[in-house]
Homo-oligomer: A and B are copies of this chain.
C-alpha cells in the first residue's frame, strides 16, 4: 500500500486498510526509541509546527519527541503566544505557517472541526491532535496499536470503554476505529454521559459498568473531567467513583488476561484505583511509549514519503 492522504483529521476519514497500514508502519518505529542513539535522519530538513491553541503537555511532548527522533525541525506555538495574534483569523495564522514552508502542522484546538477547516485551505499536512469534543485520532491510533501489539489483533475482541463518553474525543475516535477494525465495543457511563443516539454508533450501551466489562479483553477507562463536577452531569466525584471506578474487584469480572488502558492523565481514586493503574493488567505506560512510535509513523507518512 502506498500512503496518499495529505492529512490525519479523524478516524472517520480512515479506512480499515489505512488504519492497518498506519499501525504496521508504526510497528517499525518502535525499535528506534529503544536504541542507544534514538535518532534517524528520515525527516531531516522538514519543518513540523506544533500549533497547540488548547494546552497539552503530554501530546505536544510526544509529537515533539517524535519529530526530533526523525531529525525534523520542530517549532512549538503555545496557547499563550497564539492568543496574542488577536484579531487574526485562525485560517490566516495557518496560511502564515504554510507560507513559512511548514511541512506538517500538528494542531490542537478547543473547537471541533478546526483542523478540517485548516486542512481544506492549506497545502501543509495537518494532523488533528484533538479538536473540541470531536476527535483525537492519534490517541485512538496509539490505543489500537497498543491493543494489536499486546493482543495480536483487534478484531473479535470485547472492548469496554467506561466514563464520560459524551464529552470524550478519545472515546469517539476509539469507537470509530475499533468498530472499523472489527472489535465488539461496549460503552458504559451514567445516562448524562452517554451521547444521544449512541446506540446507532455500532456499540453496545450500558449504564451499569459491570455489564460492559464482563468478560472484556480490554477495558479503557476515560479521564473524568473533575472541573465538570458542578455542571449537573454527575452528583459528585465520590458518587461517580462509587459506580464507575475501575478497582481490582471490578477487574475480576473481565477476562483473566484483560488489558487495562487509560489515555491519561489519570485521576487516581476517581475513575481508576491505584492498584489497578499500577497492576499487572495495566498497559497505561505502554500506551505512552507506543504513542511516540505511532506519531513518528504519521509524521513519516505525511512528510517523508509523499514529498
Contact = CB atoms under 8 A, between A and B. Distances in A.
Interface of A: 33-39, 44-47, 49, 55-58, 60-62, 64-65, 68-69, 73, 75, 77-78, 80-82, 84-89, 92-93, 95-102, 223, 226-227, 264-268, 270, 285-286, 288-289, 291-292, 307
A84 to B, nearest CB: 5
B33 A38 contact: no
B45 A65 contact: no
A38 B100 CA distance: 11
A289 B55 contact: no
B45 A93 contact: no
A264 B80 contact: no
Contacts of A97: 61
A153 B73 CA distance: 34
Contacts of A47: 38, 65, 68-69
A87 B223 CA distance: 10
Nearest to A36: B307
B55 A266 contact: no
A90 B286 CA distance: 18
Contacts of A286: 99
Contacts of A266: 87-88, 92
A35 B68 CA distance: 19
B45 A38 contact: yes
B56 A84 contact: yes
A264 B36 CA distance: 37
Nearest to A38: B45
A44 B33 contact: no
B100 A288 contact: yes
A140 B58 CA distance: 32
A87 B69 CA distance: 30
Contacts of A49: 61
B101 A292 contact: yes
Given A55-B80, A92-B266, 9 more contacts: A36-B45, A39-B45, A39-B73, A56-B81, A68-B73, A87-B226, A92-B264, A93-B265, A99-B289
